[in-house]
Structure 1
């Protein structure tokens, strides 16, 4: 009997150890994937973190400043004194490989390879080169030369890094623009392409706007100053490609316009609620257009579907000019003009030259990156995604 009880005890103990061991294995098997999942998520967050740079053209000091998106510190400055005078607007191509800089003081356009900050070439385009805008297909850059009253067409060969001025459109010779009352001058100011790169909408300094057929390089539609006001620089395509926005601004005016890109008809005219409308950008979610007003130092928030102003940013900084959003859409960067503007048609001086940073959610200014000259052009380049 004693032996039987002893054997029974040994069997029960063995069974208990076996069950305990199985339970431990089961628990271990369930916990391990959970731990691995946490690690995987952490790794994914690391890989999806976006590094970016904000590039700013300071036409007052002839410099291009490169700002780190994470620290908001200037990490590099490109001296433009021997490159081009008064770098005015700076725009990246779709991939962020090349920056096109319009040098208003020297009538040239410089091409910078973004990765190593090398100025590849500087091309003569026309007096007062104001805006050099790359097409969505990457095949060309159109340049608005203000006092020259012309558009230059630069062909782009990325593979061989060749950039050549191939054509010029003399707007002063366009028959449709000869009405002096409707077109006081034919100075091109800013422009934007349609989604298929086939057309460009170009604002005119004295008032008005023209639509250019890119293939034929001819004006196919025109609007006089009675329809589109002077000094417009807010041309931007809607996310769906169906509408082109433009604006006009002065010390008395801040209007914006919407065109149907299929018919090239003006379908909407609105007021920002401020004075001197200028820089524009569309939010990351594609729902709203933010448009700054240089005189009143604020911004209108416009619904891209209804075309109506739905909100405002009360203060974006003193003398705001051009703008861009951070890749995640949480921050709004605004260049602020200096006390001695290097270019301009009317009073647009500011006391705090630099880059203002607005928190998009709160719509409040949260920081200022101080500069010393007359900041103007601004664009963003994603370094790693």
Structure 2
């Protein structure tokens, strides 16, 4: 699959995120597409027409998706009534605003991320039954789970506690046969991206939702208050003009499962050693090197590809970075802004105010050469301009401009129409996406946002909420939006479609 996604963010990724672990590109494999719809499903009444909380998981089978045209027949799970009905009683809050879904590296379990309530849900991918429910640390600045990512070795889940301004970790416990026996929220591992006393207000919470599945769900240790407010170089972690707002957006994990590239809402980035407790910063970048609100990332040919997108209304931002994966382990660390990105592709309109036509890089997908397994093309989507920039993934590594293959639009086919309450038509607004497994991986599945976006409203209002199907060209350099499988959540006054898909992710079925 991918490394992530995603994910501004809402700041809003992915995820990004998304984005995520390496995907097996098996020919004609049975697979599912899980779509996270963060539209409210609970508390919808005439007096509260937009609802209060909730969301849906929509699961599409490849047998339906590979039809021509694809069949819109998903299994639909309400995140409250079908998955976590006791969340309020056991964690102090209902689950709210499902922002993204990521599979474990073996596709057995799915992580559900709730950006508004700060929950991490674990669901069995085969049975569709809930396993664990966690709630992140509450700090003086908030409590969220913007996106989680999973290490390629299948041992760690990282939680982007966005408004809490923390990076947190759940350790995946396995027996000698490699079977998962538990998920443990390692509170000792949490790193505060701001630091200082009085930051930690409430410790994380773990709930074992299914006591009969022999999978434990626990919290061990204690999230430390009073963590350092300085980086190992002695610089402030958060400071105006350097890293002004350290909301954690998307932690993208390296191929060796040792480091996370932690993008920040106000700009800048930390590279973190995720093997220690607490996790430790080993490299720091300021906003002049890494712009604000990055939430797209994937590993490609040994490098780390990251993006940044718009973080404020009408401000244009579309940048793609290629970083090394060669960073030290703690207690060693690099000097500030070292090493610099290997390559950067930045849109000339970055930083400009372009009313109605700014740019916003978000979800990305890497298409592989199925015969060799090598990364072939990177498709970087733009939520505002409804297009994708395509880059070839081969040398010269230090020059992304020479590797830029062109742009394609998602509006040429007219597959995106309109929906109840939308003010426009043919405005797909692509968010997090993933590559199909069937028919040689010739499709990209992408979440298309709705007219009433619950996150990053200034860049994510679309006219055709649903699952978009992009058919790749024979050379994989381009594509077109051939189908939209619409989604609907009707408001209490029957005037709006509240559906707001944020992430589409492919899960390979297990034999």
CA-to-aligned-CA distance 1:314-373 (integer Å, 9 cap, x gap): 226621110111112200111111111112263321111011111101611110010121
Q: Secondary structure at the match of 2:306?
A: strand
CA-to-aligned-CA distance 1:155-200 (integer Å, 9 cap, x gap): 1125354112102111012413233211111111012111110111
Identify which of 260, 268, 287 aligns with 1:200.
Answer: 260
Aligned to 2:162: 146
Aligned to 1:40: none
User: C-alpha separation between the residues in 1 aligned to 2:28 and 2:388?
Assistant: 29
Q: Secondary structure at the match of 2:239?
A: coil
User: C-alpha separation between the residues in 1 aligned to 2:157 and 2:487?
Assistant: 29
Question: Structure 1 pair 298/178, CA: closer, same or farther in 2 (3 Å)?
Answer: same
- Computing the radius of gyration from Cα coordinates, the structure with the larger value is 1
User: C-alpha separation between the residues in 2 aligned to 1:311 and 1:367?
Assistant: 22
Q: Which sits farther off after the overlay, 327-336 or 292-301? A: 327-336
1:311 Cα offset (Å): 2.0
User: C-alpha separation between the residues in 2 aligned to 1:139 and 1:345?
Assistant: 35
Structure 1 moving runs of 4+ over 6 Å? none
2:408 is equivalent to residue 324 of structure 1: no
Identify which of 270, 275, 297 aligns with 1:215.
Answer: 275
Instruction: Judge conservation of contact 1:136–1:195 (CA < 8 Å) in 2.
Output: yes
CA-to-aligned-CA distance 1:40-71 (integer Å, 9 cap, x gap): xxxxxxx9632111001101141110011231
- What are the within-5 Å matches in structure 2 for residues 10-159 of structure 1? 49-61=28-40, 62-72=55-65, 73-82=72-81, 83=84, 84-126=95-137, 127-158=143-174, 159=179
**CA RMSD for the aligned pairs?**
1.9
Instruction: Judge conservation of contact 2:27–2:441 (CA < 8 Å) in 1.
Output: no
User: C-alpha separation between the residues in 2 aligned to 1:304 and 1:209?
Assistant: 23
1:272 Cα offset (Å): 5.5
Aligned to 2:193: 171
2:465 is equivalent to residue 364 of structure 1: no
Aligned to 1:37: none
Question: Structure 1 pair 332/258, CA: closer, same or farther in 2 (3 Å)?
Answer: same
Aligned to 1:378: 504
Instruction: Judge conservation of contact 2:108–2:510 (CA < 8 Å) in 1.
Output: no
User: C-alpha separation between the residues in 2 aligned to 1:253 and 1:160?
Assistant: 41
Unmatched 5+ stretches in structure 2: 1-25, 41-54, 66-71, 85-94, 138-142, 196-228, 232-236, 328-338, 349-357, 370-374, 412-426, 489-498
Q: If each structure's helix is expressed as a fraction of its own residues, which one has the higher value? A: 1
User: C-alpha separation between the residues in 2 aligned to 1:383 and 1:55?
Assistant: 12
Aligned to 1:277: 361
Identify which of 344, 354, 376 aligns with 1:287.
Answer: 376
Q: Which sits farther off after the overlay, 176-185 or 193-202? A: 176-185
Q: If each structure's strand is expressed as a fraction of its own residues, which one has the higher value? A: 1
Unmatched 5+ stretches in structure 1: 1-46
Number of aligned residue pairs: give it: 337
